[in-house]
Amino acid sequence: MKHVTEKEIISAVPIAPVMTRREKLEHWADLIGQQHDHVNLLHNLEKWDDDQLNSELGILYFMIPTAFQIGAEDPVFKAMGLIDTVASAMNFFEISQHDLHEFSCDCGGKISNRKMAARVRYFANPTWRNWLFR
């Protein structure tokens, strides 16, 4: 049996990257824009209660993924602790429940991956976000 030093153990543990809010949102926008043709919008997110916000989205939507599912499937975001719920995404990306309406304001249906990626990018840049939603 080989003796393993503490330094070897520590160096073998994967370290999740540290990203700013903006970096996370930009990475998320890239994921949405590159991997999927359409994204499902979730209806009335700003009115969901805690149980709905904490439910697993894979159970709610089967065929067309949501932006939240796309983010939760990313290995980088998984390593940083993101899971497949709206509540997890709200915390992870630092968005409020009020922001959810702006994020998914078509209130149900589908949206192109490019349009959804643009919405996420607007959240990454507050100056553009204010211009887009005011």
Mean of pLDDT values over 45-68:
76
DSSP SS3 for 38: strand
64-92, pLDDT tens digit by residue? 678 888 898 899 999 999 988 889 999 99
pLDDT for 110 beyond 80: no
Q: What is the pTM of this model?
A: 0.75
pLDDT at 12: 60
Domain boundaries, the chain: 20-128
- Name which residue leads in pLDDT, 55 or 37: 55
36-51, pLDDT tens digit by residue? 678 888 778 888 888 8
CA–CA separation, 103 and 99 (whole Å): 6
What distances in angstroms separate CA 12 from CA 3, 19, 77, one per listed residue? Answer: 14, 21, 19
